[in-house]
Amino acid sequence: MKSALHHAWVEVDLNALEFNVRGIQKKLPKNVTYMAVVKANSYGHGNENICEKLWNMGIRWFAVANLDEAISVRKYCPEAEIFILGYTPPYLAPTLAENNIIQGIVSMEYAKELSESATSPVRGHIKLDTGMGRIGTRCTDTETCGKELLPMFELPNLKLEGVYTHFAAADSPEIADVAYTRRQEDRIVNVYNWLAENGHKLEHIHFMNSAASVYCPSPRCTLSRVGILMYGLLPNAPYPVPIPIKPAMRLKSTVVQIEYIEKTKQTIAVVPVGYSDGYSRLLANKAQALIHDVPCTVVGEVHMNYLTLDITEIAESVNKGDEVILFGKGAITANYLAFLYDTIGDEVICNVSRRIPRIIVNEEIKDEDLILEKAGVSEYETNITSCMG
């Protein structure tokens, strides 16, 4: 590790990634294909580290947020199916076609604009708004929605191959939310079936994210869009997940200086990681980091380029150059840091500055490193029963 040791580094643990993907795949019904969500540079892990690994594991579908990301993934996976969840300006339709990228189609108007700008057919999946209330063709009544979609199929430079939606509350196993998610699923399945009955049998239908894929895996889709869970973080609600996972990202640094503070009788360690590296100022005096597996509290402010840890209890055994784990091991997860400043783990991992080098590791999977959320399992299982029923 010494060669990369400038001030801090991120370990990207490909064994952990594989472990998580295999666990999620086991939950998916046999007919459902895994689509790896690799937007935001693979949730901060680096497309260069994640995409080829996933391809070599047999993953063939990738989802991204925009065209730049799609082209990045294309570089690592020349043969992959790449799907853009977000907006691509219509004038870039020829680039979509050239790179064989599938675009999410949010409205009839957008479909027309894409088709008009394209010089050869652009592949698309129709986005339906089944209750998220954001983007997509509004879809509550099956026939009304189906009829509204029909003209899209007549556009000359659009090749429609699928339909998809985003659940509003899939991350929650609350009874009311599970019922709502179920209703959203019924709506898209009904429209998909209606289109098939009216001459447009689409190859793909998808609506599950990480949470839905493990809380409520449905056989009524062909693809599942999995993000956060494969990187070893819990979905956006502090509920138990029914599979063990292991964080694929660890943010590390070293102790560069040790000081004894006479006034407070504390020994502190200076660690060269600050808010410009993505470690939030809001974590000051709250978060802990690990030195020799011992949690040490951040004392004082988090500065632009460094922070200080209280190492009074273990002062004897800490030396300059010792490794510090800021998150990604034991109880010190990105989810834990997120909880401390009222955000979600996704933000913590996406915010780690690009200037911090990503280093590939393949750590052995040990039981003690797994996140096994046991609390509340029985309550959760009751709801799952209602979700399946």
Q: Which of 44, 124, 173, 227 binds ligand PLP (CB under 6 A)?
A: 227
Q: State how far the Cα of 365 lies from the Cα of 363, in Å rounded to an integer.
A: 6
Give the residue with the Cβ less far from ligand PLP, 124 or 235.
235
Q: State how far the Cα of 328 lies from the Cα of 41, in Å rounded to an integer.
A: 18
User: How many residues in the shown chain lie near ligand PLP by CB under 6 A?
Assistant: 13
Q: Is 166 in the site for ligand PLP (CB under 6 A)?
A: yes
269: three-class secondary structure by DSSP: strand
Q: Which residue number has the CB closest to ligand PLP?
A: 227
Q: Is 210 in the site for ligand PLP (CB under 6 A)?
A: yes
Q: Which of 17, 28, 32, 37 binds ligand PLP (CB under 6 A)?
A: 37
Q: Does residue 153 contact residue 164 with C-beta atoms inside 8 Å?
A: no
Q: Which stretch binds ligand PLP (CB under 6 A): 8-16, 186-194, 206-214, 245-253?
A: 206-214
Q: Which of residues 67-96 bind ligand PLP (CB under 6 A)?
A: 85
Closest CA to 133 of 103, 163, 165, 162: 165
User: Whole-number minimum distance, CB 16 to ligand PLP, in Å?
Assistant: 16
Sign of the Cα torsion 167, 169, 173, 176 reads negative
User: Whole-number minimum distance, CB 181 to ligand PLP, in Å?
Assistant: 13
Give the residue with the Cβ less far from ligand PLP, 37 or 324.
37
Q: Is 44 in the site for ligand PLP (CB under 6 A)?
A: no
Q: Is 32 in the site for ligand PLP (CB under 6 A)?
A: no
Q: Is 209 in the site for ligand PLP (CB under 6 A)?
A: yes
Strand-pair category, 266-271 with 307-310: antiparallel
Closest CA to 340 of 353, 330, 327: 327
Q: Does residue 72 contact residue 50 with C-beta atoms inside 8 Å?
A: no
Encoded tokens for 110: 């957008």
Q: Is 163 in the site for ligand PLP (CB under 6 A)?
A: no
Q: Which of residues 85-144 bind ligand PLP (CB under 6 A)?
A: 85
∠333-339-341 over CA atoms, to 5°? 115
**CA gyration radius, the chain:** 23
Give the residue with the Cβ less far from ligand PLP, 166 or 358.
166
Q: Does residue 252 contact residue 2 with C-beta atoms inside 8 Å?
A: no
For residue 255, which amino acid is it?
Answer: V
Sign of the Cα torsion 184, 190, 193, 199 reads negative
Give the residue with the Cβ less far from ligand PLP, 191 or 211.
211
Q: Is 225 in the site for ligand PLP (CB under 6 A)?
A: yes
Q: Is 64 in the site for ligand PLP (CB under 6 A)?
A: no
User: Whole-number minimum distance, CB 272 to ligand PLP, in Å?
Assistant: 30
Q: Is 228 in the site for ligand PLP (CB under 6 A)?
A: yes
User: Would you tell me which residues interact with ligand PLP (CB under 6 A)?
Assistant: 37, 39, 85, 166, 209-211, 225-229, 235
